[in-house]
Structure 1
Amino acid sequence: MSHAIEGDDETTLAPSLYDTIDRIVHAGVARSTLGLSPSVLTEAWMDWAVHMAISPGKQMQLLESALWGSWAVYQEALGIKEQAVDQPDGKDQGGKSQESEAQESGAKGRAQAGPHIADRRFRDAAWQQLPFSLWANAHAQNWQWWQQAVTGVHGMSPAHENLLAFVSGLMVDTLSPSNYAQTNPEVMTTTLSEGGKNLMRGAQHLMEDLERRGRAASATPASTSALHDAASSAQQPPVEVGQTLAITPGKVVMRNRLIELIQYSPATETVQAEPVLIVPAWIMKYYILDLSPHNSLVRFLVNQGYSVFMVSWTNPDATLRDMGLEDYRHLGVLEAIDAIQAVTAAKHLHAVGYCLGGTLLSIAAAAMGRDGDERLASVSLFAAQTDFTEAGELRLFISDSQVTLIEDMMADKGYLSSEQMAGTFALLRARDLIWAPVVDHYLLGKPSHSFDLMTWNADATRMPATMHAEYLRRLYLNNDLAEGHYRVAGKAVSVSDIRAPIFAVGTEDDHVAPWESVYKLHLFADSEMTFVLANGGHNAGIISEPGHSRRHYRIATTGATDAYRAPNEWLSDTTEQDGSWWPAFANWLEAHSSQRVAPPPMGMEHGRYRVLCDAPGTYVKQT
């Protein structure tokens, strides 16, 4: 029960004592469960257990599968290297073949001798010898069996299936023989050859990491030592933003409570009349798009003759706890547009949004289109979603219970810490982000080899409580933007109100914004759209500079009046092209620009948009 409080203009509800007690308890639970709601897993397990109990056919199928898997391991133990021993292609009660079940659950095919060979954890030649090949095969069969056990249960919720498949995969991978010195032949060989020095180095690395984490946990949000500590623990030279990263020349020409606006220095005698505004995600620092000189999208665009401006978000603390999505739209996008027009005198500009920044830009562009604001010459969205019904593995963690727990957890500090966000992303790719570093750093004693993308990935930011709660509830949970319920200035907005041409990019291996989800923009936008599908993941697929080996992409344009094509149809209709998609993007921007002009001044001589400092500014250095 809540009590009404009379205000001057409205009546608000204040939480009662009982509500406050519940929120405090929930926050305590969240701290002990790493922010994961126990009810989410409990509901999924109950759904599975009840339906499994009344599915004798599924139980028999799992028994048969276990027998075939055991037979495959037995063959391995006997040294039999014959080709796969197939299971019967029987149908389960839901009408699905075992093979399709395995594909849907992420398994690598039917039980067979040596299915671990395709797993890069077991690619070393030592894993092909007994007893290591036996252990690896047993692990592969165990992983596959559990995927089959928690999926394809007749009547079970697909959302619960996906969650249990993910959790069971995490649990089985924890017991992988590659994770332990006693069962990893690479670790054993290294230990024997070095006389155990690798384990001594690993122990030293562990102590250094624990000490660094302890300092980080006790540091205030204003501390500026995190990057230096991370570099020192990895025995690497300090990585400093503005010295080795984010070094494209420029000036900060505007600052408000939420952003610094960076204007980059021109590199050509003339530039396109329409400047480019880049709105990055605020979950990490902006310099993902201005890493090292060789892979900086900013530098690439500047060298192509564009006036480029970048939003650099502040790293929020408790004082910004009430900042909401509307503040991000107004202070982060609209004020940046106003500043760019004041500095350049351009009537129109190209707007680019990446990840969350792309979602925010789509909201801002939709509101501008609705209100007749025609200042956007084009809108480009990189790995950005406008519909969240198929929002990748992060969707597994989003439910009313989970969001409520996060809200209660944020209520105390006023923000979601960067460590909590990093932990969630690490779970999504536990093999690469948790177990692989454990083996390399602690068991093999290898130093951490830091590179630009890794350094950026460790430079996370906090999330203001109000904004993050709105983002999770209104976009992820309720899907308000796609369903027409998202309101800006009291009125609903729709992506179909975007009038400018759109350039959208998805990546093949994106676990945050799957390309099919990004492609859904075709269902909502009524303007011309050029869609690119690049190889790589959420970050590496976007940072796809020319000259990078093994890069390819597909590109096609859909007219405003063209018929819709499903993702698989689009894929079959387009041809794979070698190389980076960046030149195609630059050509597209040029085709939607008017003319080349003399470069604009760097900021204004006086007033709000005068030069404040050199790029990369001050906000990016906040920790």
Structure 2
Amino acid sequence: MAEGKGNAGQADGKSEGFAGFDPKSVEPYIVKDPEALAMNMARTVEQLGQAASAWLAPRERGVKTDFIADPVVDMVKTLSKVSEYWLSDPKRTFEAQTQLMGSFFSIWTRTLQKMTGDPTATAEEPVRPDKRFSDADWVANPFFDFLRQAYLVTSDWADRMVSNAEGLDAHTRHKAAFYVRQISSALSPANFVTTNPQLYRETVASSGANLVKGMKMLAEDIIAGDGDLKLRQTDSSKFAIGENIAMSPGKVVAQNDVCQVLQYDGSTATVLKRPLLICPPWINKFYVLDLNPEKSFIRWAVEQGHTVFVISWVNPDARHANKDWEAYAQEGVGFALDTINKATGEDEVNAIGYCVGGTLLAATLALHAQEGDTRIRSATLFTTQVDFTHAGDLKVFVDADQIALLEQRMKETGYLDGSKMATAFNMLRASDLIWPYFVNNYLKGQEPPPFDLLYWNSDSTRMPAANHSFYLRNCYLENKLTQGEMVVAGKRLSLGDVKIPIYNLAAKEDHIAPAKSVFVGSGFFGGDVTYVMSGSGHIAGVVNPPAKGKYQFWTGGKPTGEFEDWVKSAEETPGSWWPHWHNWIENLDKTRVPARHTGGSLNSIEDAPGSYVRVRA
């Protein structure tokens, strides 16, 4: 594709502003074949019509109802409270308008200075690295340069309007800031053909063929989402569960209505006497810990001598509507512990819980403490919150009104559709997980490359109504677990009753279970807690095999006092935290026994990864 002279002198990645601006640099933006462009625009409209038909079809049949107005109403209601503050006082209104207009005037002045070759103009411009604006013409071309600066200035101004508004309660301010970020991300000039230099050039160079293909992909993705847009983030055709993903050898050794229990084949002559039980989240599927042989935590743990058992949760439907936390604790964790005993004869187990699976595990440990069940002798929590005071942006979606509305919707089907949770998680990082794919897929017409992690991310699961309602109300809304007010199986739970050793892993850049939230939660357990913070985020911070040599982790003293003080004094170690965790496990009990055969006294039901994980939402 022709780049034109607008990129001349930009090979080193540095911008020189408009000095020496060559009018010929606009040639890549001039339509060369109007007839071909017109034909492709007509085809684009045709494909867009196909997309609209795919969206309308399930609604016309009555099988899908939209409630898009509900979050929009909440957003308008929230932002109106910010507006009320600024509009209630004419002086404040004038000051806010003056700030914005003054910024625009400064941009215009710098633009004129650049066009005259003034070297001080670029130096005065605030520097902000932003991969959305990496194309050289965002700076070299006067039109796009002005758009970029105006967008950044307006976004900053909108953020300040929220942060400087007085009289807002903490939850309203949090929601307002989140909604402003979502609007800013959506309205970025990088997301539109006529305001993105690269998209503009590609559209001209291909006479609009990119848009034809993009709208065709849009229609396909709406059909795949049964009337909702299922944003493709990877080439899903390149993956097959059990063939090139979730491949670790093992067997399903037990199952019930809630889960299957998998046991993995040992690969060492001896194994640790205590088996290892992994309780993954049911919001996603367990094979994030078994993406491929190189990344698989499950395979690595087997190679260290662990007898690994994993809970594979059912992908629920209307039959599971009343399965609540008690069911998941007893028919999930409890059932898996019974299975391990039958398969190995062991009464003592090391357990791992990931994300909400870790929250369930922590609550189950508190329940077991009251019941006198001592089978779990140590617990490891991966990016798990037990206290939700600092729960991050997911709290935006959780207040009494929104939960009541969600519960009303779930009554109609008995579950929450997996795509709703997937969208919420993607919105936490919309600039990385939504808009780049929107631009590349539907405006550039480019197929995304295959990526196992994003395939897993798109393989969403449903949530049973009773389970999800309990989780949102007891954890995010009312924070009952750390207040000693959560009731499961008729018992009021206290994490202070949990005396076993805890390995509490957080991830520094986690948007779902913030590291500070995990740190604060450490203080509620009644026994010794080892707090470790890994580099990266909610997934990459956990799935970080030692052989890759990536990232780092921090260790320090007991997780007491302020989180920021702990971080300052923590010791940084390059690479994966996995060996550190394994050493922690062995220091608790390194007794070994001859390797165990899959299932032991149990007959296997089917090969791992089992059938439950293959059910798609």
| TM-score category (smaller protein) | 0.7 to 0.9
Partner of 1:153: 165
In the alignment, residue 553 of structure 2 is paired with which amino acid? Y
Change (3 A) 1:266 1:256: same
Whole-angstrom distance in 1 between the partners of 2:577 and 2:541? 10
Change (3 A) 1:293 1:490: same
Partner of 1:244: 244
Whole-angstrom distance in 2 between the partners of 1:592 and 1:35? 54
Contact 2:232 2:448 in 1 (8 A): no
In the alignment, residue 368 of structure 1 is paired with which amino acid? H
Whole-angstrom distance in 2 between the partners of 1:328 and 1:57? 57
Any gaps of 5 or more consecutive residues in structure 2?
1-61
Contact 2:265 2:597 in 1 (8 A): no
Change (3 A) 1:373 1:212: closer
Show the 5 A alignment for 1:513-592.
513-548=513-548, 550-558=550-558, 564-592=560-588
Show the 5 A alignment for 1:221-620.
237-548=237-548, 550-558=550-558, 564-605=560-601, 609-620=602-613
Secondary structure of the corresponding residue to residue 601 of structure 1: coil
Aligned match for 1:189, one of 190, 201, 204: 201
Deviations 1:404-450 (A, max 9, x none): 00000001111111122222223222222221111111222221112
Whole-angstrom distance in 2 between the partners of 1:235 and 1:346? 43
- Identity of matched residues, %: 33
In the alignment, residue 33 of structure 1 is paired with which amino acid? F
Aligned match for 2:213, one of 201, 214, 219: 201
Show the 5 A alignment for 1:55-70.
58-59=92-93, 61-70=95-104
Q: Following TM superposition, by how much is the alpha carbon of 1:72 offset from its aligned partner in structure 2, in angstroms?
A: 3.5
With structure 1 as the length reference, what TM-score do the two structures score? 0.83
The question of 1:171 aligning with 2:167 is answered no
Partner of 1:12: none
Change (3 A) 1:35 1:375: farther
Partner of 1:3: none
> In angstroms, what is the RMSD of aligned CA positions?
2.5
Partner of 1:16: none
Deviations 1:191-232 (A, max 9, x none): 344444333332332232233233889xxxxxxxx9xx979x
With structure 2 as the length reference, what TM-score do the two structures score? 0.84
Secondary structure of the corresponding residue to residue 504 of structure 1: strand
Change (3 A) 1:123 1:318: same
In the alignment, residue 354 of structure 2 is paired with which amino acid? Y
In the alignment, residue 69 of structure 1 is paired with which amino acid? S
The question of 1:120 aligning with 2:135 is answered no
In the alignment, residue 119 of structure 1 is paired with which amino acid? D
Secondary structure of the corresponding residue to residue 99 of structure 2: helix
Whole-angstrom distance in 2 between the partners of 1:142 and 1:33? 30
The question of 1:73 aligning with 2:107 is answered yes
Whole-angstrom distance in 2 between the partners of 1:556 and 1:501? 16
Change (3 A) 1:72 1:554: farther
Contact 2:236 2:455 in 1 (8 A): no
Partner of 1:33: 67
Q: Following TM superposition, by how much is the alpha carbon of 1:113 offset from its aligned partner in structure 2, in angstroms?
A: 2.1
In the alignment, residue 597 of structure 1 is paired with which amino acid? V
Contact 1:284 1:459 in 2 (8 A): yes
Deviations 1:562-618 (A, max 9, x none): x8221001100112221111111111111112411112232144xxx4211110011
Is the deviation greater in 468-477 or in 544-553?
Answer: 544-553
Whole-angstrom distance in 1 between the partners of 2:78 and 2:216? 41
Deviations 1:441-492 (A, max 9, x none): 1222221112110000000110111111111111111111111101233221
Whole-angstrom distance in 2 between the partners of 1:35 and 1:350? 47
Partner of 1:5: none
Change (3 A) 1:555 1:84: farther
In the alignment, residue 605 of structure 2 is paired with which amino acid? L
Change (3 A) 1:430 1:56: same
Whole-angstrom distance in 2 between the partners of 1:570 and 1:57? 44
Secondary structure of the corresponding residue to residue 379 of structure 2: strand
Q: Following TM superposition, by how much is the alpha carbon of 1:132 offset from its aligned partner in structure 2, in angstroms?
A: 1.5
Q: Following TM superposition, by how much is the alpha carbon of 1:243 offset from its aligned partner in structure 2, in angstroms?
A: 0.4
Deviations 1:79-120 (A, max 9, x none): 2664899xxxxxxxxxxxxxxxxxxxxxxxxxx7244x4111
In the alignment, residue 478 of structure 1 is paired with which amino acid? E
Any gaps of 5 or more consecutive residues in structure 1?
1-27, 86-111, 218-225
Whole-angstrom distance in 1 between the partners of 2:179 and 2:343? 52
Whole-angstrom distance in 2 between the partners of 1:594 and 1:175? 56
Q: Following TM superposition, by how much is the alpha carbon of 1:133 offset from its aligned partner in structure 2, in angstroms?
A: 1.7
Whole-angstrom distance in 2 between the partners of 1:74 and 1:576? 46
Contact 1:522 1:529 in 2 (8 A): yes
Secondary structure of the corresponding residue to residue 331 of structure 1: helix
Whole-angstrom distance in 2 between the partners of 1:178 and 1:488? 49
Secondary structure of the corresponding residue to residue 503 of structure 1: strand
Change (3 A) 1:292 1:76: farther
Whole-angstrom distance in 2 between the partners of 1:194 and 1:557? 60
Whole-angstrom distance in 1 between the partners of 2:506 and 2:176? 27
Contact 2:507 2:533 in 1 (8 A): yes
Contact 1:75 1:81 in 2 (8 A): no
Partner of 2:79: 45
Show the 5 A alignment for 1:79-94.
79=114, 82=120
Change (3 A) 1:397 1:603: same
Aligned match for 2:224, one of 184, 207, 212: 212
In the alignment, residue 599 of structure 1 is paired with which amino acid? A
Contact 2:426 2:434 in 1 (8 A): yes
Partner of 2:614: 621
Q: Following TM superposition, by how much is the alpha carbon of 1:39 offset from its aligned partner in structure 2, in angstroms?
A: 5.8
Whole-angstrom distance in 1 between the partners of 2:612 and 2:126? 51
Secondary structure of the corresponding residue to residue 511 of structure 1: coil
Is the deviation greater in 208-217 or in 440-449?
Answer: 208-217
Secondary structure of the corresponding residue to residue 310 of structure 2: strand
Whole-angstrom distance in 1 between the partners of 2:69 and 2:351? 35
Whole-angstrom distance in 2 between the partners of 1:402 and 1:486? 21
Is the deviation greater in 261-270 or in 47-56?
Answer: 47-56
Change (3 A) 1:46 1:205: closer
Contact 1:604 1:611 in 2 (8 A): no
